[in-house]
Amino acid sequence: MVRRLFLHHARRRLHSGTASSIPLSTPIFAIFGANTGVGKTLVSAGLATALLSSPSPAVSSVAYLKPLQTGYPVDSDASFVFSRTPALLRAFPPCRATRLIASCRTFFQSPAVEAKAESLHESQEKVVTYGAGAAEQTKVLACCTAYAWREPVSPHLAAEREGMAAGDDEVKGCVEQWLLEEGIGEGGEVWKILETAGGVASPSASGTLQCDLYRPFRLPAILVGDGRLGGISSTLSAYETLLLRGYDVSAVILEDRELSNDKFLLSYLRNRVHVLILPQIPEDPLDDLTDWFSESSSIFIFLKDELQSFHSRRIERLNSMQRKSKALLWWPFTQHNLVPQDSVTVIDSRYGENFSVYKIKDKMLIPQFDACASWWTQGPDSNLQIELARDMGYAAARYGHVMFPENVHEPALHSAEVLLGGVGKGWASRVYYSDNGSTAIEIALKMAFRKFSLDHGIMASSENSTRNERNIQLKVLALNGSYHGDTLGAMEAQAPSAYTSFLQQPWYSGRGLFLDPPTVYIKSEVYNISLPQSMQHDPQTYGDTCFFSQAEVFCKTRDKTFAADLYSSYIKQKLSEFSLSSSSEHLAALIIEPVIQGAGGMLMIDPLFQRVLVSECRSRKIPVIFDEVFTGFWRLGVESASELLGCLPDIACYAKLMTGGIIPLAATLATEEVFESFESDSKLTALLHGHSYTAHAMGCTAALKAMQWYRGPSTNSNLDTDHMKLKELWDGTLVKQLSSLPNVKRVVSLGTLCAIELKAEGADAGYASLYASSLVQQLRKEDDIYIRPLGNVIYLMCGPCTPRDSCTRQLLKVHRRLCALN
Amino acid sequence: MVRRLFLHHARRRLHSGTASSIPLSTPIFAIFGANTGVGKTLVSAGLATALLSSPSPAVSSVAYLKPLQTGYPVDSDASFVFSRTPALLRAFPPCRATRLIASCRTFFQSPAVEAKAESLHESQEKVVTYGAGAAEQTKVLACCTAYAWREPVSPHLAAEREGMAAGDDEVKGCVEQWLLEEGIGEGGEVWKILETAGGVASPSASGTLQCDLYRPFRLPAILVGDGRLGGISSTLSAYETLLLRGYDVSAVILEDRELSNDKFLLSYLRNRVHVLILPQIPEDPLDDLTDWFSESSSIFIFLKDELQSFHSRRIERLNSMQRKSKALLWWPFTQHNLVPQDSVTVIDSRYGENFSVYKIKDKMLIPQFDACASWWTQGPDSNLQIELARDMGYAAARYGHVMFPENVHEPALHSAEVLLGGVGKGWASRVYYSDNGSTAIEIALKMAFRKFSLDHGIMASSENSTRNERNIQLKVLALNGSYHGDTLGAMEAQAPSAYTSFLQQPWYSGRGLFLDPPTVYIKSEVYNISLPQSMQHDPQTYGDTCFFSQAEVFCKTRDKTFAADLYSSYIKQKLSEFSLSSSSEHLAALIIEPVIQGAGGMLMIDPLFQRVLVSECRSRKIPVIFDEVFTGFWRLGVESASELLGCLPDIACYAKLMTGGIIPLAATLATEEVFESFESDSKLTALLHGHSYTAHAMGCTAALKAMQWYRGPSTNSNLDTDHMKLKELWDGTLVKQLSSLPNVKRVVSLGTLCAIELKAEGADAGYASLYASSLVQQLRKEDDIYIRPLGNVIYLMCGPCTPRDSCTRQLLKVHRRLCALN
């Protein structure tokens, strides 16, 4: 019965890579070992006993879970805890008279176990009393084994040899179910203890390391150290392995083998974690350990107190974070008056695509799908996150930070090679590193202006520039709705908006000719081209403004249509008007976000228009800058958005996804011709722009790993290797259905992005709109999707490696909400 | 004799925290163990045998070093290699007839060893022949033990119990000496093998973990894994511990215990490192292992080939880096034409304050003191570097990256608390995160302008800002020589310079009133105040322009002198001239680098002048910004330079040292009044400026660690805790001597900075100057100080924790060179 119930729940599996809900009302700890055979189960039993005998805090119930057990039934850690704890309670200091209901269950046994273990019940229960006087209270000890194999080897071998697999999702499903089960028992706390198998990095049944398998839960760890010769090393290494998975270690506890390992560890781990020492464990297999437990009781009681205090501090801190953040922080882009304290999102950790969010009312950690892909940077799935943590730890330890001009180090050089062989392939020959998208743009503009000035004879000799040149005004050619960053130089290259008002940036003047671009969107299952009002045309001559597939929109044959001619004459006319209006002003650079304008509201620009624009600039020797900070590195389904456009820039900027979106780094790539325009014999003509962390080793190391991970068929299962593009992530049918909803104005779906503009009029439209906010609140609170709207545009964004089924789940939730709104 | 020689060299100790010279002409590997007792010494002996029997590459000599040996002489790994290798050569495939001269030496024995080991010679030698035919060649096997203790326990216990210490500097001195010794033997490669004791993180004699002790050498590691149950976990954890110290692992090799640990490791470590498997080691202590070695010979030969190839790839890559960097990179602030390929610095790693630089001609890694503190960011000593690597690895694994607006996470909140309780104490109440100094400045300016506009009624209602306000020009009050970053907004706040020319930034206009500040410098042992020409004054009334100590310069009693009046009237006059010149222009912010102008040439500004300036702005309700990007966090010997000035800002910017100078992060701190000027019910009045990585978890985690490390008495021995300032780092007497040299124009020495301006006239002065370049080349090439000049200013910069004796050594070298120049 019990088993069937459990089975039923376990089938409600966790999806790969998703995080899990974790109750924090209950103290829950995971026991990890520095090695196998260091006494994890003794610690489990000792801790359970200390808890059940404790007058303060009053503990009503202890649940123990051994998810993976090998060597069963000879070795059964759950059975040990079940059978020994009741007896041990008498060895601990006397407490109030108590009735204990103890149970022991095993859910899944391999055929080899079932064949041999006739005598073993899969479920046992007993009732004992302990303490002084007549039993006044009832407590519960519930011990479970989830999966049991017979051979005393690593679970991955046992699973293979005995023919009972236990996939990660199944095991995590069991653990989640166990975590969410309410404890029984009267008037006191419920504690839970999960005991892992072997060492911290021992393989689970699937081969996933245990520290990785249980990472979605990120339970505070108790590390059972190694008291033997060499044990300092294995304990510290195990500790570091846990840190490199983002675990908090609440205590280290180890056996005394008279080598003073504890003293050394105590000193080394001072201010980090408590170290406790247990008496030497008798080696005689006949010793029933009663004396040892009795001798150890004060240590286990101390451990229990430490854990209690660790748990309380954690909860206190989590409970205070909303209040403190409102008092101390100043968030970007945020009107603090509009953020009530209880709407602040407390992020306890992240696992792959999911935040783990603390809900103060429920005392729960809830996974939320990060639909803004941490503001457009985020790339890693849960595996890449761990790889990046390890690689960046290595880079920090190897290089710290080393300055860059006139120097070279391996990560900077190697990532330059990968950049030039990837997004820069076929055009770029130089990499200029900086540290964010905005600085990459300012550098690109400086490059373009120099190249333009030389090509157009604005500086006869570049070294003799004088104040006279100040009469010459260099401007950019750009598109309305564009966004290139928040530093002044980047802002000057974008059209006026709420961001650029006098209130925001009194120094902004808008140094550009800003054209109105035609856009593309899906509405009622059809791709529509929307022409700006300024582009006067005869609807008859333009031709089709409707397409039935994305491929048609991007098709190069459109170059030969009337639409191309219309675009070309519109651009020519604007350029000609500009040059007539002033002889001292020059359009010295074209700067565009290829295909998608992100901050502008996730607008898809007609690729044909951008292609024509690039071509017109080329013929005038105006350098072309692609701002790929948002669009680069598979954001739009291809490594570089220039592949979608079908034309190449002279200069391009990359950041965000480049490093996996985990650490700041930016790069401006340029052609050799652009580079050469800075060459001379004088330092004064060099590009005198830099930032302290240019090409910093950790950033370059992360970039290397991320760039290679995205484009590796073995690491990115979304990759269509034949076409070197991502498979469809947002279900096409669902996207079309969305586009047909009456409250949806338009949909843009490309690569990792699916944006939905809601119908809104007047004050509801635009950046300041709060129109979407109730929808957003529902999605956040009830659907566990962390959405951040852009005015009346909501969007889902994933990483290049996010599994398609996860995308579909999120999109279904949005679809359901939008249907309900109607 | 041998011992005395070695002792002599060993006394030439490595200084704490310094890196070491490492020859790369010789393949050198370090053998680490996943645990104790995993067979490191068998691998040493097997590898030595494979090398000595190898026809290709021809190896003439193998040197083996066991720096720390316990259990001696019963256990002597050097003795094992010495005694077994000659015999084993016969078990390996036959090679050319060879005469082998094998020797074994022990340098330092504990008294307990000496008392008992009557029969053991401290030096043995034997000659054997092997191979087919008459001996045609001579090879050498030199085995050494550096320190030997009797008890078979961890070296830190043995050292304590037996009364023979072996400090880290002594041990590193031995290793360095051994590394630099030329191998003897004919016609072939010299190989070296260093075998560590216990596991990777086992303590050395001093208690330093072995992986940390040997880190200055960063020898490629051979990790001997663990084939036992639990061995997958301990092998992977040990591997991660090595990565977290910046080691490259060249191979993993482990014993087969029929648990298939190798298969799992092979799969897990695929594409990272080779995994080799050895036959099971006989447990019988009487087995002389001849059969085992014979069976293993092909594996050891394979290992040798792997290591050979690893070494060759490393050297090839290092040799190619100068060429490739010239071809692919575009360095900031660099005229590529002026950088010959062979002058590019190839940085292989960093350890504390030292680069490890590859010298292609000598095939050597040379430590160079990073005197530009990696361009003004660097804070960590070698211990903090490892702490930061571990903490950032943890932060990446726990958080990856999570977006910030309306969210809170622990590292962002905690570092905000530390910022507000430290540099912001007494004035700031809000932290605005961004990602570099330049963006922090742009944010600060936006804050100041808003505050000024509200205070001065420029926007009656902040929400109704219109184009009319464009007629109002907001400008900054700033100082000539100031520098605030390379993005346009930051540049606009600085006076014209080589950086701001039309050639560099056509959009620069210089939106400020720039005052000439009086400066302070040391010349001929005296602190001089130099008044700008624009500051007309009667020398009689100004008073003293000479001081005999820094304390006098900073003394607050100067507020009551005529100098203060002179400054005040100069400032008043300039402000009044400005306001008369235009009614639409307003000085809406004061922005200064407190005390030291860094990029401007390491100029020390008279603190009295800046104090008066702040006071004049306060009285006019002009918000005051301190740009502490360079000066903050102990750069000038105090946590915040405002302590030196004796006055507080309304807004201040921090970056660089804040994170230990290891990862980009910046913060703009502000008073609550400044914050309030952005509050309303509309999102449009919020500060709409942000960067993707605002408050990113890794950066905040590093900041937390670094800020606390600098100010912790137990972690920063430079701290004078009574006065919360750094002790004198640059020897005062030496600084005064330098200031008296005829070719020195001025010296500025404060906190971690010691700058020396060389006398130069005309074209030799200023940013474009190459005057200092020959001196700089000497210091780099001959004195191993990595100096980067600012025109004719050279400077030494260290971290807040750099030991004083290291500073003195560098300063002495500079002094010597400058004397020689005379």
> Is residue A631 in a domain?
yes
pLDDT above 90: percentage of residues in chain B: 83
Secondary structure percentages of chain A, helix, strand, coil, to 5: 40, 25, 40
The predicted model gives A280-297 an average pLDDT of 92
> Is residue A20 in a domain?
no
Measured between alpha carbons, how far apart are the two ends of chain A, in Å?
45
With beta carbons under 8 A apart, name residues in chain A contacting B398.
218, 246, 349-350
pLDDT above 70 for A762: no
Candidates A210, A271, A403: best to mutate against B (most CBs of B within 10 A) is A403
pLDDT in tens, B331-388: 999 999 999 999 999 999 999 999 999 999 999 999 999 999 999 999 999 999 999 9
A435–B432 CB contact, under 8 Å: no
Residue B369's alpha-carbon distances to A51, B183, B775, in angstroms, are 55, 29, 16
Task: Give me chain A's average pLDDT, please.
Answer: 92
The predicted model gives A503-510 an average pLDDT of 95
Last residue of a domain, one of A667, A683, A710: A710
The predicted model gives A424-453 an average pLDDT of 97
Q: How confident is the model at residue A463 (pLDDT cuts 50, 70, 90)?
A: very low
Q: Quick check: B674 contacting A, CB < 8 Å?
A: no
Q: How confident is the model at residue A132 (pLDDT cuts 50, 70, 90)?
A: confident
**What does the pLDDT read at residue B791?**
85
Q: Quick check: A685 contacting B, CB < 8 Å?
A: yes
Do A703 and A740 fall into the same domain? no
**What does the pLDDT read at residue B133?**
76
Do A658 and A760 fall into the same domain? no
> Is residue B523 in a domain?
no
Among A152, A403, A688, beta carbon nearest to B374: A403
**What does the pLDDT read at residue B15?**
47
**Which pair of structure tokens corresponds to residue B768?**
């474009």
pLDDT above 90 for B554: yes
For residues B239 and A241, give the distance between their C-alpha atoms in angstroms, rounded to a whole number.
Answer: 9
SS3 assignment for B264-285 = HHHHHCCCCCEEEEECCCCCCC
For residues A323 and A360, give the distance between their C-alpha atoms in angstroms, rounded to a whole number.
Answer: 11
Q: How confident is the model at residue B621 (pLDDT cuts 50, 70, 90)?
A: very high
pLDDT in tens, A326-351: 999 999 999 999 999 999 999 999 99
Contact yes or no for B350/A399 (Cβ under 8 A): yes
The predicted model gives A144-170 an average pLDDT of 96
Do A394 and A371 fall into the same domain? no
Do B693 and B768 fall into the same domain? no
Task: Give me chain B's average pLDDT, please.
Answer: 92
pLDDT in tens, B449-471: 999 999 999 875 444 445 455 58
Q: Quick check: A245 contacting B, CB < 8 Å?
A: yes
Query: B654 vs B498, which has greater pLDDT?
Result: B654
Do A435 and A501 fall into the same domain? yes
pLDDT above 50 for B706: yes
Distance of CA B787 to the CA centre of its chain: 14
A405–B439 CB contact, under 8 Å: no
Q: How confident is the model at residue B120 (pLDDT cuts 50, 70, 90)?
A: low
**What does the pLDDT read at residue B54?**
87
Do A361 and A446 fall into the same domain? no
**What does the pLDDT read at residue A769?**
56
**What does the pLDDT read at residue A188?**
84
For residues B657 and B701, give the distance between their C-alpha atoms in angstroms, rounded to a whole number.
Answer: 13
Among B259, B498, B507, beta carbon nearest to A492: B507
The predicted model gives B101-116 an average pLDDT of 92
pLDDT above 90 for B90: no
Candidates B35, B324, B466, B503: best to mutate against A (most CBs of A within 10 A) is B503
Of B731, B738, B660, the residue nearest B700 (C-alpha): B660
The predicted model gives A760-783 an average pLDDT of 74
For B525, phi and psi rounded to 5 degrees?
75, 5
A487–B488 CB contact, under 8 Å: yes
> Is residue A21 in a domain?
no
Do A455 and A554 fall into the same domain? yes
Q: How confident is the model at residue B6 (pLDDT cuts 50, 70, 90)?
A: very low
Do A657 and A600 fall into the same domain? yes
> Is residue A412 in a domain?
yes
Q: Quick check: B173 contacting A, CB < 8 Å?
A: no
Q: Where would I find the beta strands (DSSP E) of A331-374? A: 345-351, 354-359, 364-370
Q: Quick check: A380 contacting B, CB < 8 Å?
A: yes
The predicted model gives B436-449 an average pLDDT of 97
CATH number, residue B629: 3.40.640.10
**What does the pLDDT read at residue A768?**
45
pLDDT in tens, B752-808: 999 999 988 665 555 545 667 788 989 999 999 999 998 889 999 999 999 999 999
Beta bridge partners, B608, equal none
Pairing mode, if any, of strands B512-515 and B473-479? parallel
Per the structure, how many domains does chain A have?
A: 3
Q: How confident is the model at residue A18 (pLDDT cuts 50, 70, 90)?
A: low
Do A405 and A524 fall into the same domain? yes
> Is residue B771 in a domain?
yes
Beta bridge partners, A593, equal none
pLDDT above 90: percentage of residues in chain A: 83
Among B334, B349, B467, beta carbon nearest to A405: B334
**What does the pLDDT read at residue A255?**
97
For residues B486 and A436, give the distance between their C-alpha atoms in angstroms, rounded to a whole number.
Answer: 13
Q: How confident is the model at residue A14 (pLDDT cuts 50, 70, 90)?
A: very low
The predicted model gives A799-803 an average pLDDT of 96
| Chain length of chain A | 822
> Is residue A721 in a domain?
no
pLDDT in tens, B182-229: 866 667 889 999 999 999 999 999 999 999 999 999 999 999 999 999
pLDDT above 90 for B118: no
Domain that residue A355 falls in: 345-376+728-821
pLDDT above 80 for A783: yes
The predicted model gives A667-689 an average pLDDT of 96
pLDDT in tens, B186-197: 678 899 999 999
Contact yes or no for B497/B599 (Cβ under 8 A): no
Instruction: Put residue A219 in one of left, alpha, beta given phi > 0 → left and psi -120 to 50 → alpha.
Output: beta
For residues B72 and B149, give the distance between their C-alpha atoms in angstroms, rounded to a whole number.
Answer: 6
With beta carbons under 8 A apart, name residues in chain B contacting A349.
398-399
CATH number, residue A205: 3.40.50.300
The predicted model gives B410-423 an average pLDDT of 98
Q: Quick check: A84 contacting B, CB < 8 Å?
A: no
Last residue of a domain, one of B710, B743, B765: B710
The predicted model gives B494-510 an average pLDDT of 93
The predicted model gives B516-539 an average pLDDT of 90
Do B129 and B203 fall into the same domain? yes
pLDDT in tens, B665-703: 999 999 999 999 999 999 899 999 999 999 999 999 999
A655–B692 CB contact, under 8 Å: yes
Last residue of a domain, one of A299, A318, A337: A318
Do B402 and B355 fall into the same domain? no
Q: Quick check: A472 contacting B, CB < 8 Å?
A: yes
Q: Which of A463-472, B351-360, B592-601 has the lowest mean pLDDT?
A: A463-472
Instruction: Please name the helix (run of DSSP H) or strand (run of DSSP E) that holds residue B720, with its range, or none.
Output: strand B719-720
Task: Find tokens 């060179």 and name the residue.
Answer: B817
Chain A nearest-CA distance from B241, in A, is 6
Measured between alpha carbons, how far apart are the two ends of chain B, in Å?
45
> Is residue A670 in a domain?
yes
Please report the number of interchain residue pairs, chain A to chain B, with beta-carbon separation below 8 angstroms. 597
The predicted model gives A605-626 an average pLDDT of 98
Distance of CA B159 to the CA centre of its chain: 31
pLDDT in tens, A32-84: 999 999 999 999 999 999 999 988 778 999 999 999 999 999 999 999 999 99
**What does the pLDDT read at residue B117?**
64
For A102, phi and psi rounded to 5 degrees?
-110, 140
Do A781 and A734 fall into the same domain? yes
Q: How confident is the model at residue A133 (pLDDT cuts 50, 70, 90)?
A: confident
pLDDT in tens, A477-494: 999 999 999 999 999 999
pLDDT above 80 for A512: yes
CATH number, residue B751: 3.90.1150.10
Contact yes or no for A520/A553 (Cβ under 8 A): yes
